[in-house]
Structure 1
Amino acid sequence: MSGIVPADGRTAVPSRVATVSLHTSPLDQPGTGDAGGLNVYVVEVARRMAERGVAVDVFTRATAPDLPPVVELAPGVSVRHVPAGPYGRMDKHALADHLCPFVFGMLRAEAQGDPGHYDLVHGHYWLSGRAGVMAARRWGVPLVQSMHTMARVKNASLAEGDAPEPELRVRGEDQLVHQADRLIANTEDEARQLREHYGARESRISVIPPGVDLEVFTPGARREALTRIGLPADTELLLFVGRVQRLKAPDVLVRAAAELLERDPSLRSRLVVGVVGGLSGAGMHEPRMLADLARSLGVADVVRMEPPQSRERLADYYRAATATVVPSHSESFGLVAVESQACGTPVVAARVGGLGTAVADGRSGILVEGHDPADYAAVLHRMITEPAWRAHLAEAAPAHAATLGWERTVDSLLAVYGESLAPHADPLPLAAGR
């Protein structure tokens, strides 16, 4: 193992980390398919790790036969495409049947390097963790695991019409929680969920919030941003950013817009509901759901559907918005909320999961109990009709986001990595155990 404890007693630093993102590639555009906040997390952390001298190999499933085996994402960061199962898009849960070839690809990549090529494995999402734990035990290195979302938590707050997560995932997560050397929770709320839903040991959980790129997501003039995205300067833009699926609840925003216009018809000429993102999950099977809903509510004329955007372009959407709305039924953190605040735009979000950390309620945005569109409409109406109040929230938003930069995330992760590299008095078995 090349990552060792220095002679002066400082915390060990790994030389090379194997990051596992099996079901979604860091090269994918966030907001499409299964790509979202997890992808952003993997990319941003890997880049900053490499800048600090820690090489990162990201293992992901090859989705096409012509993909190069290795792609350099950034200096010191490589994406390794591992064949596992049929090419093309696959349901995430079906990937559980193809873990063995994926692990074999990881082992083969390690065998091509010097002994002790990887010092540590970091899995992202339960499928990655299931593959990661097998590789980590084979290499004799620690496994650090980030769950990002958890089946029991999602099943406890399903959107109407959404299918529950399968028992296979529940069992897999239960085993993984007890196999991992360290668990990374995005928030204290997620740490509590790990303990209460999965019986995780508190001593193995580290709370490390994700971050935001404070160089890309910066405040800017709202009117100019509206012009750049092709909207009149007097537009009241209510913005949803993310994957279009029931879990993320973009329908709540569309229903809230209908409530808002019923309350104040004079807003119709300048109200725009912007939905920036692609279909995902069960949303792939109901591609017209949102458009049909808008038509049935009589607000199709104010709903503007946009594909996922580059980070620089997305920052303009945030700057242009009156408010960014995050009405998710379940959210491990809520990177969209932090990005919006970094751009100086307040957030109206559901009081679920990590959004209580991502949004400073009453200071940089407003948290809403439940998913009643009328409650969201009331807050959004106030945002529009009380500009001084909105300006107060907007002024505080960047300062709150600044406390959640990626550099802080990487500092904390490196500390956990170092602790994991220290000799273990309590070696962990491959089989699940409490």
Structure 2
Amino acid sequence: MQRVAMVSMHTSPLDQPGTGDAGGLNVYVLELSRRLADAGIEVDLFTRRTSPSAPSSVDYADGITIRHLEAGPVRPVAKEALAELVPAFAAALAQTDDRAYDLIHSHYWLSGRASLMASRRWDAPLVHSMHTTARMKNLTLAVGDRAEPRSRVLGEEFIAANADLLIANTDAEASHLISAYGADSDRVTVVHPGVNLSTFRPDVTARAALGLNADAIVLAFVGRLQPLKAPDVLLRAVAVMLARNPSLRPRLVVPIIGGPSGAGPDVSLPGLVRELGIGDVVRLLPPLAHAELARWYAASTLVAVPSYSETFGLVALEAQAAGTPVVAAAVGGLRTAVREGISGLLVDGHSAEAWASALTRGIAQRERLAVGTRPHAAAFSWEATAARMIGAYECVTSASLIDEEMTA
């Protein structure tokens, strides 16, 4: 294994997670690429050019090059409209044949559809990570969210039928790909995402650095501000908690860290904060660089992840790596990312009352749960992820060589 083409059409690995379409996928692609490069594998990261100032290629780090392809207008385009640009991106990718690749690893369905042409032209196997699927999202829609279109479902079905290997984040996602998309079980493998254990770690100085009182009760949310991620669930739960126990108010701090999403309707949080009368405890913060974000994780009493759907939930893992228990929705990969009763609590449903009760329990059990956070997160290092991924890559390239020999 010498060279991999990593494809992320709809969002650049350089974009700031927590705003627009950037999120856990961006973190995943960059962190995986770094560990592959550490293992001696060259990685070319392909994404769509969205700015006239973006060069055709950027030497991001030793062994990693980011390559911007022209496909459609040279500006940001809403993710919902990007499907129309898949043919142009696919053609640009397929024509980039100045380097030989052992395989292509595409991320999200738009990249998968675009990468199939290059896979055939380059005679390189296609490994694909869905990250999310339309069918799963449509089963768990938040109030006010829009259903994914039939075209995406069909696109994902086509990828499931034609990719050489599908990478699932968890056993539950693997089962979903097989049952809902008809994927061949022999072409689905599970590789858990990881967490940067050096960046996200306990920090006893974090509260002082952020100007937080030592006895503050800090309930944090990190992520894009969209119905799917459900920051409103946390805010409504906080209002219930304060109604039940007004004495919490002087100590309560609720940082909401993230920006508006480029996909689907946004959540209007300032208006909701005013409506609920909790403006004195809520802090609306923009997306933060990892070093600053790590401080907030370490300074928090609990981190809430109330998403309606998550294939894994990197925020939950980052928080636990920083020594902070997580209260998360009992959906998708969060059941794997959070160890119930050991490193956090899982909540059935999204009612404000249920979440208020769970958060109250989490506060009371915080010290006990914190003991299990770092050990749980340590099982999900990016180094372990890369090692398992390289094993998967070698299996699919070996199988391709055998197929070639049999048809020769």
2:144 aligns with 161
Partner in structure 1 of residue 366 of structure 2 = 390
Pairing partner for 1:378 from 333, 357, 371? 357
- Identity among equivalent positions (%) equals 53
CA displacement 1:251-299 (0-9 Å, x = unmatched)? 000000001000110111111111101110456x546x11111111111
Alignment of 1:229-244 (within 5 A): 229-244=210-225
Equivalent pair of 1:226/1:235 in contact (CA under 8 Å) = no
* 2:116 aligned with 1:123: no
Q: 1:403 aligns with which of 369, 379, 392?
A: 379
- What is the CA-CA distance between 1:397 and the residue it aligns to? 0.4
* RMSD, matched Cα: 1.3
Residue aligned with 1:164, SS: coil
Q: Of 186, 190, 207, which aligns to 2:173?
A: 190
User: CA separation in 2, counterparts of 1:42 and 1:159?
Assistant: 27
Give 5+ residue unaligned stretches, structure 1: 1-13, 428-434
- Among 83, 86, 96, the alignment partner of 2:70 is 83
8 Å Cα contact 1:93/1:169 also seen in 2: no
Where do 1:267-286 residues align within 5 Å?
A: 267-281=248-262, 286=266
Match of 1:72 in 2: 59
- Tell me if the contact between 2:220 and 2:254 (Cα under 8 Å) persists in the aligned partners: yes
Shift of 1:54: 0.4
Matched, 1:20 2:3: no
Using the TM superposition, give the Cα deviation of residue 226 of structure 1 relative to its aligned residue in structure 2, in angstroms: 1.8
Matched residues in 2 for 1:286 and 1:188: separation?
31
Whether 1:44 aligns to 2:27 is no
Cross-structure match for 1:62: 49
SS at match of 1:345: coil
- Structure 2 residue runs without a partner (length 5+): none
SS in 1 for 2:250: coil
Equivalent position to 1:135, from 98, 118, 131:
118
The CA deviation at 1:67 is 0.6
Cα distance between partner residues in 2 of 1:105 and 1:199: 30
Note the C-alpha offset of 1:376.
Answer: 1.4
For the Cα contact (< 8 Å) 1:162–1:282, is it kept in 2? no
Match of 1:8 in 2: none
Letter aligned with residue 171 of structure 1: L
Alignment equivalent of 1:210, drawn from 193, 202, 208? 193
1:343 aligns with 2:326: no
Contact 2:219–2:302 under 8 Å retained in 1: yes
Q: Which residue of 1 aligns with 2:395?
A: 419
The residue number in structure 1 matching 2:202 is 219
Write the letter of the residue equivalent to 1:250: P
Distance of 2:385 and 2:270 partners within structure 1:
38
Which residue of 93, 98, 122 maps to 1:106?
93
- The list of structure 1 runs, each at least 4 consecutive aligned residues, that deviate by more than 3 angstroms after superposition, is 423-427
CA contact 1:144–1:183 (8 Å) conserved in 2: yes
Inter-CA distance 391–180: structure 2 relative to 1 (3 Å threshold):
same
TM-score w.r.t. structure 2 length? 0.96
CA distance in 2, matches of 1:235, 1:194: 43
> Do the aligned partners of 1:216 and 1:311 also contact (CA within 8 Å) in 2?
yes
Return closer, same or farther for 1:70/1:90 CA change in 2, 3 Å cut-off: same
**How far apart are the structure 1 equivalents of 2:23 and 2:295?**
19
Please state how far the C-alpha of 1:87 moved relative to its aligned partner: 2.1
Is the aligned partner of 1:324 residue 2:330? no
Q: Distance in 2 between matches of 1:99 and 1:303?
A: 41
Match of 1:431 in 2: none
Matches of 1:300 and 1:100, distance apart in 2? 47
The CA distance in 2 between the partners of 1:162 and 1:193, in whole Å, is 22
Comparing 24-33 with 232-241, which one deviates more in the overlay?
232-241
Q: Give the secondary-structure state (helix, strand or coil) at the position aligned to 2:270.
A: helix
Q: Give the structure 2 partner of residue 352 of structure 1.
A: 331
CA distance in 1, matches of 2:361, 2:328: 15
Q: Contact between 2:80 and 2:263, CA under 8 Å: does it hold in 1?
A: no
Secondary structure of 1:73's counterpart equals strand
Residue 251 (str. 1) matches residue 232 (str. 2): yes
CA change 1:411–1:286 in 2 (3 A) is closer
The CA deviation string for residues 60-106 of structure 1, in whole angstroms up to 9 with x for no partner, is 00001121110122110011011111122212131111123212322
* Alignment of 1:307 onto 2:286: yes
Deviation at residue 232 of structure 1 after TM alignment: 2.4
TM-score (norm: length of structure 1): 0.91
| 1: CA distance, partners of 2:399 / 2:10 | 31
Q: Counterpart of 1:268 in 2: which secondary structure?
A: helix
Answer whether contact 2:227 2:266 (CA < 8 A) is retained.
no
In 2: Cα distance, 1:218 partner to 1:286 partner? 31
The Cα shift of 1:230 comes to 2.8
Counterpart for residue 11 of structure 1: none
Q: Which residue of 34, 39, 42 maps to 2:21?
A: 34
In structure 1, how many angstroms separate the alpha carbons of the residues matched to 2:185 and 2:122?
Answer: 26
The Cα offsets for residues 222-262 of structure 1, whole Å up to 9 and x where unpaired, read as: xx312212322222110000111000000000000001000
SS at match of 1:329: coil
